[in-house]
Chain A
Amino acid sequence: MKSFLLPLLFFILLLSGCSKEVSQQGSMAPTATLKIKFEHQFKGQPLELNTNYQNDFGEAFSIGRFKYYISNIVLYRGSNASVLPETYFLIDENDTASKTLRIPIAAGNYDQMHLLLGVDSARNVSGAQTGALDPLNDMFWTWNTGYIMVKLEGSSPLSTQPNNRIQYHIGGFSGAYSALRQMETGFPSSVEVKSGQTLTVTFNADLQRWFNGVHDLPIAGQTVAMTPGPLSARYADNAVSMFSVKDARVQ
């Protein structure tokens, strides 16, 4: 019996090495699913594009486009990390399907999840990419190469740009002004996910905090952010402060 099981296990391991998708989960076959949902809001209400809003500085504006990268998802059981397949997700307010991520995971107990808001530094410099990281998604700076981690565009009467545009392209992956931000969320209690079940984690992202989640960045001060640097890093702080876990449940 044993002499049959062992090779089988090896075989599965090898198989995972070939597809690369599951290799990082070690020998734990992914029989359950992690579903991450992002709900974008403004002041607690579902976000509407091209709708007039007012931020906490009383400044009028509207949002036309909101996109960001999520990567490096890790589930924890105590201090045991379960690194999920190396996958990059581009979440786009304009594309409903993009706001729900589905990732195969091993069954087990989990009490924490870490995500990266952005694309890790290694991937910024490893050459031509495809899928969510394809430069045709307009999330890549070509002259100072690297991914735009978060993009918020819209308009405001306070802007003197053409069409009253406001444009915040937040990025930079190295040094003091890196815009990469880690999100670490503990679940209210350890959740048990059995084989065949789905763990659904729902995040709220409230764009009210874009302008003052951590740093005060009124529109009157800047209508455009387009390069890695200190300003971009401050927007990144505000951006990550927009996210909070609404709930985590197993079905």
Chain B
Amino acid sequence: MRWRCTISTLVFCVAAASMLINACNKKDVEKGTTSVSFEVPAGFPQPVYDFSKNPLTREGIALGRQLFYDGILSKDGQTPCASCHQQFAAFATFDHDLSHGVDNGFTTRNAQALSNLAWQQSFHHDGGILNLETQPLAPLTAANEMGETVAGVVAKLKGSGKYQQAFRDAFGEGEITSQKMLKALTQFMVTLVSANSKYDQVKRGTTSFTIAEQAGYATFKAKCASCHQEPLFTDGSFRNNGIGINPFLNDGGRIRITRNAADSLKFQVPSLRNVDLSFPYMHDGRFYTLQQVLTHYRTGIQQTPNLDPALQFGISLSNTEASNVLAFLKTLTDSAFVKDPRFAAP
């Protein structure tokens, strides 16, 4: 009797559970979205971004891409994300130390190249943003960038027939919300994966380095990789690499976030993927060439508070070593990435 009771309970529960699971999932079926799986390139660690709360769909990515390229998100209608993040410059601003925002405003930092964002813990040069989904709020609402309010942008999107449809396609029925907008932008941004440079191809064994590149790689591993760690070419930490404070911008970097004097003049170690395309360099865009960057590390280190111990005496590189490192850095250019039609203006 006891047995039968338990079995009937089980059967009932399984039936009930399957009914309920159907009820929970039905919405997705109704939405008619096509799910997209996120491929982790060989040799890459597991991503940091939590896809479970924002599952990728073809429609979500398409909406995010549309938003990324649309001036509707800005006050003057002319300043989309893509005006500062240009694909041919690896999604940095081509040839600009600082970028232009609305009302003739200038950003106060150099626009970062965007790639492999799903592996990043924190965003911006000072790491003040802790989740990719909330990053777009910063440029959207900054008076010197897109000059909008969250409410203003949501209202404009609600008033657009095109976006009403695109949001329905991506998220089903229901109102357009800032949350949906941010999740869609994030879906697009995480697809910007760069993992097909010559360096990656060498790693996969499909091509090989030149002698100079190979020697440069060895030097890089010995002298740069403690901060610019493979395969993302950053360890995500905050360091003072000895460039000294910019007297016009007076930017203390990480200390703005932590208010801790030990973080003064520290900036997040940037990835070096596509670095040959994303000039100028450093948080203020002060160096226009990689040659200048190397000269900085060799002879330009300024003894400022919190200078990273690894750079106390600069990095000694012979002229040959320096030119080999340069050759190696160029192998990080992923030309398929900067030409990928999936990332281009829709």
Cβ A143 vs Cβ B138 within 8 A: yes
Contact A134 B179 (CB under 8 A): yes
Instruction: Tell me if A127 is interfacial: C-beta within 8 Å of chain B.
Output: yes
Residues of B within 8 A of A127 (CB): 50, 53-54, 131-134, 182-183, 186
Report the bound CA distance from A192 to B11 in whole Å: 38
Identify B134's interface contact among A18, A130, A142, A228, CB under 8 A. A142
CB pair B9 A130 closer than 8 Å: no
* A186 at interface by CB-CB < 8 Å: no
Docked Cα-Cα span, A230 to B178, in Å, equals 31
Distance between Cα atoms of A235 and B142 in the complex (Å): 26
CB within 8 Å of A: which of B22-45?
23-24
CB interface residues, B 149-173, toward A, < 8 Å: 149-151, 154
Cβ A144 vs Cβ B128 within 8 A = yes
Chain A residues with CB under 8 A of B9: 3, 6-7, 10
Given contacts A10-B16, A14-B16, A128-B178, contact A145 B8 (CB under 8 A): no
Q: Is the CB of B137 within 8 A of A135?
A: yes
Q: Tell me if B179 and A18 are in contact (CB < 8 A).
A: no
Give the B interface residue count (CB, 8 A): 41
* Complex contacts, A96 vs chain B, CB 8 Å: none
Check A144–B16 contact: CB distance below 8 A: no
CB-defined contacts of A140 to chain B, threshold 8 Å = 134, 137
Q: Among residues 116 to 142 in chain B, which have CB atoms less than 8 Å away from a CB atom of chain A?
A: 124, 128-134, 137-138, 140-142
* Interface presence of A79 (CB below 8 A): no
Count A/B pairs, Cβ under 8 Å. 99
**B50 and A14 form a contact (CB under 8 A):** no
- Beta-carbon contacts of A114-138 to B below 8 Å, as 1s and 0s? 0000000000111111100011100
Give A134's nearest chain B residue, CB to CB: B178
B5: min CB distance to chain A, Å: 4
- Which chain A positions have C-beta within 8 A of B178? 128, 130, 134-136
| Chain B window 226-258, contacts with chain A (Cβ cutoff 8 Å), 1 for yes, 0 for no | 000000000000000000000000000000111
Tell whether B17 is near chain A: CB-to-CB under 8 Å. Answer: yes
What's the Cα separation between A201 and B80 when bound, in Å?
Answer: 48
Could you tell me the distance between the alpha carbons of A129 and B154 in the complex, rounded to whole angstroms? 14
**Alpha-carbon distance between A40 and B8 when the two chains are bound, in angstroms:** 56
Most chain-B CB neighbours within 10 Å: which of A7, A15, A128? A128
In the complex, what residues of B have CB within 8 A of residue A227's CB? 259
State whether B5 touches A3 (Cβ < 8 A). yes
Tell me the bound Cα distance from A128 to B183 in angstroms: 7
* Set of chain B residues within 8 Å of A10, measured between Cβ atoms: 9, 12-13, 16
The contact of B124 among A136, A143, A229, by CB within 8 Å, is A143
Q: Is B20 an interface residue (CB 8 A)?
A: yes
Q: Contact between B259 and A230 (Cβ–Cβ < 8 Å)?
A: yes
Q: Per-position contact with B for A80-98: 1 when CB-CB < 8 Å, else 0?
A: 0000000000000000000
Q: Which residue of A lies closest to B177 (CB)?
A: A130
CB-based nearest A residue for B133: A127
User: Per-position contact with A for B1-13: 1 when CB-CB < 8 Å, else 0?
Assistant: 0001100110011
- For residue A94, give the distance in angstroms from its CB to the closest CB of chain B: 16
Q: Write the chain A residue with the least CB distance to B124.
A: A143
Given A7-B13, A7-B16, A134 contacting B142 (CB threshold 8 A) = no
Q: A144 and B134: CB pair below 8 A?
A: no
For the complex, what is the distance from the CA of A144 to the CA of B8, rounded to whole Å?
A: 55
Partner among B13, B150, B257 whose Cβ is within 8 Å of the Cβ of A135 = B150
Q: Report whether A143 and B128 are in contact in the complex, using a CB–CB cutoff of 8 Å.
A: yes
* A98 CB, min distance to chain B CBs, angstroms: 17
Q: Can you report 28 residue pairs joining A to B where beta carbons are below 8 Å apart?
A: A7-B8, A7-B13, A7-B16, A14-B13, A15-B20, A18-B20, A126-B131, A127-B54, A127-B132, A127-B133, A127-B134, A127-B186, A130-B177, A135-B137, A136-B149, A136-B178, A140-B134, A140-B137, A142-B137, A142-B140, A142-B142, A143-B124, A145-B128, A145-B130, A145-B134, A175-B258, A227-B259, A229-B259
Please give 9 more A-B residue pairs, beta carbons under 8 A apart, in addition to A11-B13, A129-B179, A135-B134. A3-B9, A6-B5, A18-B24, A124-B130, A130-B179, A142-B134, A144-B128, A146-B130, A227-B259
Give the interface of A toward B (CB within 8 A).
Answer: 2-3, 6-7, 10-11, 14-15, 17-18, 124-130, 134-136, 140, 142-146, 175, 177, 227-230
